[in-house]
Amino acid sequence: MIYPVVKYGNPVLEKPAETVTVFDHALRKLVEDMFESMYAAHGVGLAAPQIGIAKRLAVIDISFKEDPKAKLVLVNPEIVRTEGKQRGSEGCLSLPEFREEVTRPLRVTVHAQDATGKRFETSGEELLARALVHETDHLNGKLYISHISALKRDLMKRKIRKLMKAGEW
Ligand code: NI
């Protein structure tokens, strides 16, 4: 099932999501649906709040279907280590059409659980590091626009308000 992606302005995107405690069939179905929804939206990462579900769950595939091993399911992820810095363009499916330069760590290590509840550690650099912090931020109610200047953020918000008024958001 493909869920529509919730856009900026919906409060679910700006509150911390709840820890996942039940690892059942429904969770695994939700994970499948999240991959399907992410691919349908042409994204490389999707957090559950972005489909209106306030749970600490995210999926990532920076290969966009090219490499099955790149599919990453993160349940209750925590960033445990960051190293270095990278600056680059970043977007979000909940803020369509916008992109901004964002400084992120170059290497990131995460502790998380998989869809069966098994704990694991994973690390990534460059685009994967960016995706790991971006998606974990979502689960803490944080969007990438909190990492850009107030001036750029206000400009973006003004543009979004205009789009909302025009019924285009
Ligand atoms: Ni996002």
Q: Calculate what percentage of the chain has a pLDDT beyond 70.
A: 100
Is residue 36 one of the residues assigned to a domain? yes
Residues of the domain holding 143: 11-165
Ligand 1 center to residue 137 CA distance, Å? 8
By the CB criterion, residues less than 5 angstroms from ion ligand 1 are 92
Is residue 4 one of the residues assigned to a domain? no
For residue 135, indicate whether it is catalytic.
yes
Ligand 1 center to residue 23 CA distance, Å? 24
Ligand 1 center to residue 81 CA distance, Å? 21
Is residue 40 one of the residues assigned to a domain? yes
CATH (domain of 31): 3.90.45.10
Nearest 5 degrees, angle CA 32-CA 34-CA 40?
105
Segments of the chain with pLDDT less than 70 = none
User: Which member of 18, 78, 97, 135 is catalytic?
Assistant: 135
pLDDT in tens, 156-169: 999 999 999 999 99
Is residue 15 one of the residues assigned to a domain? yes
pLDDT at 94: 98
The CA-atom distances, in angstroms, between 100 and each of 56, 77, 78, 131 are 25, 25, 25, 15
Ligand 1 center to residue 7 CA distance, Å? 10
pLDDT in tens, 15-50: 999 999 999 999 999 999 999 999 999 999 999 999
- The 3-state DSSP composition of the chain as helix, strand, coil percent (nearest 5) reads 35, 25, 40
pLDDT at 109: 98
Q: How many domains does the chain have?
A: 1
pLDDT at 21: 98
Is residue 81 one of the residues assigned to a domain? yes
Is residue 3 one of the residues assigned to a domain? no
pTM above 0.95, yes or no: yes
